[in-house]
Chain A
Amino acid sequence: SQTIHQWPATLVQPVGSPLSLECTVEGTSNPNLYWYRQAAGRGLQLLFYSIGIDQISSEVPQNLSASRPQDRQFILSSKKLLLSDSGFYLCAWGDGTVNTEAFFGQGTRLTVV
């Protein structure tokens, strides 16, 4: 069966420090991959999505970037964190068909101090 792993679960980082969040999927190949951010008590904002290795689209221009070095690995990065980067980050995967749900990781709660 398919599983999605996301880590770390929580992270406290100082302003200006770098960031790397990793997400991996098992049990499927060529998944569509997504990164979302959720501010406290708010909805899910789509940050990046990818349909294949090195095929990444950005929804919101900002100081975050994403990479997909392997088929089932999706990484969210920043060179210098801002206070406004705090939030709950969720990785998700889908099989590329319109009628199947996306499956989410457990999320990373990032606090920038």
Chain B
Amino acid sequence: AQKITQTQPGMFVQEKEAVTLDCTYDTSDPSYGLFWYKQPSSGEMIFLIYQGSYDQQNATEGRYSLNFQKARKSANLVISASQLGDSAMYFCAMRENTGFQKLVFGTGTRLLVSP
């Protein structure tokens, strides 16, 4: 069964520094997608970045990049040049390509950016 693990309940970073949020996953499906979402205090879910299991390159979207290590089954999110507005909950999620394509989330990491 697919599973997502985020082992960091909370992370602190200073403004303008980079931070890495960890995510490991487990699946037996060779085809899957990995996603990162941001959830500010308002509760809305904001999609950040996507990585496909067959993608050769690490995904990047502006200040967000995904450090994809397939053999280790990890998909860490790197936020460069942190901003105060990056303070939020961050969720890693995975969708397998088989069955009903459930989208399963990790428990999240709360990031706090300090001035």
Contact = CB atoms under 8 A, between A and B. Distances in A.
B20 interface: no
Contacts of B35: 101-102
Given A43-B91, A106-B43, A98 B101 contact: yes
Interface in A65-113: 88, 90, 92, 94, 96-104, 106-107, 109
A2 to B, nearest CB: 13
Nearest to B32: A98
B70 interface: no
Contacts of B50: 99-101
Contacts, number: 68
A96 B108 contact: no
Interface in B63-110: 91, 93, 95-97, 100-108, 110
B44 A98 contact: no
A103 B102 CA distance: 14
Contact of B101 (A32, A36, A42, A44): A32
The interface size bin for chain A is: 20 to 34
B18 interface: no
B51 to A, nearest CB: 9
B12 interface: no
B108 to A, nearest CB: 5
A98 B30 CA distance: 12
A75 B8 CA distance: 34
A96 B96 CA distance: 11
Contacts of B107: 42-43
Interface string A8-34: 000000000000000000000000101
Contacts of B93: 44, 102
